[in-house]
Amino acid sequence: MKHFLFSASCVCLLFITLGLAGVSPALAQSSLSLAIDQKAETLEGQVVAWRRDFHQHPELGNQEVRTAAIVAGHLRSLGMEVTEKVAVTGVVGILKGGKPGPTVALRADMDALPVTERVDVPFRSTQTAMYNGQEVGVSHACGHDSHVAILMGVAETLASIRGELSGTVKFIFQPAEEGMDDLDTWGAKQMVEEGVMKDVDAIFGLHINSQTPVGTIKYRSGPAMAAVDNLEIKVIGKQAHGAYPWSSVDPIVTASQIVLGLQTVVSRSVNVTEIPAIVTIGSMHGGVRHNIIPEDVEMIGTIRTYSAAQQELVHRRIFEIAAGIAQSAGAQAEVNIRKMYPVTYNDPSLTAKMLPTLERVTGPGRLVEHELITGAEDFSFYQQAKPGLFVFLGGMPADGDPLKAPAHHTPDFFLDESGLILGVRALSHLAVDFLQSGI
Q: For residue 91, give the nearest of 69, 120, 66, 59 by alpha carbon.
A: 69
What are the angstrom distances between the C-alpha of 23 and each of 30, 99, 122, 434?
A: 11, 17, 50, 20
Can you give the residue ranges of every domain in the chain?
A: 1-42, 44-226+343-437, 227-341
Element (H, E) at 339: strand 332-341
Confidence at residue 23, expressed as pLDDT on a 0 to 100 scale: 46
**Parallel, antiparallel, or unpaired for β 222-225 and 240-241?**
unpaired
Instruction: Give the burial class of 45: count Cβ atoms within 10 A of its Cβ; 0-12 exposed, 13-18 middle, 19 or more buried.
Output: exposed
Q: Are 186 and 141 in contact (CB under 8 A)?
A: no
Q: Is 73 exposed, middle or buried (0-12, 13-18, 19+ CB in 10 A)?
A: exposed
**One digit per residue, pLDDT tens: the chain, 439 residues?**
443 333 344 444 444 344 434 445 555 568 899 999 999 999 999 999 999 999 999 999 999 999 999 999 999 999 999 999 999 999 999 999 999 999 999 999 999 999 999 999 999 999 999 998 999 999 999 999 999 999 999 999 999 999 999 999 999 999 999 987 667 788 999 999 999 999 999 999 999 999 999 999 999 999 999 999 999 999 999 999 999 999 999 999 999 999 999 999 999 999 999 999 999 999 999 999 999 999 999 999 999 999 999 999 999 999 999 999 999 999 999 999 999 999 999 999 999 999 999 999 999 999 999 999 999 999 999 999 999 999 999 999 999 999 999 999 999 999 999 999 999 999 999 999 999 987 6
Q: What is the pLDDT of residue 185?
A: 80
Tell me if 99 sits within 8 A of 166, measured CB to CB: yes
| CA atoms of 148 and 378, how far apart (whole Å) | 16
Distances (CA, A) of 385 to 320, 352, 354: 33, 19, 19
The helix (run of H) or strand (run of E) holding residue 365 is none
Residues with Cβ within 8 Å of residue 7, at least 6 apart in sequence: none
pTM, whole model, 2 decimals? 0.91
State the catalytic residues.
Answer: 341, 417
44-226+343-437 and 227-341 in the same fold: no
* Third-level CATH fold of 227-341: Alpha-Beta Plaits (3.30.70)
Torsion over CA: 181, 277, 376, 350 (sign): negative
CA 40, CA 57: separation in Å to the nearest integer?
25
Alpha carbons 47 and 44: distance in angstroms, whole number: 5
102 close to 201: Cβ distance less than 8 angstroms: yes
Structural Rg of the chain based on CA atoms: 25
The conformational region for residue 209 under phi > 0 = left, psi -120 to 50 = alpha, else beta, is beta
Domain 44-226+343-437: CATH class, spelled out: alpha beta
